[in-house]
Amino acid sequence: MISFNQKWSTYFRTRQKTERMNLSEKLHLEIKNGDEKFTSQNQDLNFSLLDFWKWSVSDILSNATRGILAEFIVAKGLSADIAKVRNEWDAFDLITPEGIKIEVKSSAYLQSWEQSDYSKISFSIKAAKPWDWAIDKRSELAIRSADFYVFCLLNHKDKSTVNPLNLNQWEFYVVSTEELNNYTRSQYSITLNSLKKLTNPLKFEELSTAINGTALNRRFKQLPHFQ
């Protein structure tokens, strides 16, 4: 006969195994619409997820929120899928319908806080160790996982009229990862002046043509008959 202690030990081991399995699974997230209510004691409260969004991210000029906004702008410009929840732990920010992987960086002259001068324009290009979901651990090799980087500059210098929702106030610089890997000045950051030596500023409406055209040209050059 199985003793009580043996039964409890078996139950405890099974529960631990199940909990570990749950931890290793990716959480399935669904797009929210903002109407979702906070609850307490199984009752809806009189404030919603939309109230939280208004309170937490209305300052779209702040560094953190502006960076996510820039990702959204580029996603719309490239017709990337935004029907899924953004995953900040992915090895790259976006993927286009053509399968092109995109990393988005943003910068601005103006900040929400009081300034004595305009912010210096610089973008991080540091390689990273991506999370490998297949082995559930971070890669040991620091790489750039995207095919292209899109550097987004909120190029406006008047605080009374700055509006990150006005896409005419933005400039976009597209650089291939191959070019960044060969960049000799620094492998950690790049200034606006250095960017302008590599490429020209684009308008929002020009993003898709620039990326798809460059990617197509690179693939064509890799074909055997072109070599």
Specify whether the CB–CB gap between 137 and 183 falls below 8 A: no
User: For residues 151 and 171, what is the distance between their CA atoms, to the nearest angstrom?
Assistant: 8
pLDDT given at position 15: 60
User: For residues 81 and 163, what is the distance between their CA atoms, to the nearest angstrom?
Assistant: 25
Specify the pTM: 0.82
pLDDT at 218 over 70: no
Digit-coded pLDDT (tens) for 67-88: 999 999 999 999 999 998 998 8
Digit-coded pLDDT (tens) for 120-150: 999 999 988 877 666 667 777 888 989 999 9
Q: Per-residue pLDDT averaged across 31-58, rounded?
A: 97
- Closest to 148 in 3D by CA, of 76, 77, 95, 73: 95
Half-sphere exposure of 68 (CA within 13 A, CB side): 12
User: For residues 98 and 80, what is the distance between their CA atoms, to the nearest angstrom?
Assistant: 9
Digit-coded pLDDT (tens) for 187-201: 889 999 999 999 999
What φ, ψ does residue 31 adopt, rounded to 5°?
A: -60, 130
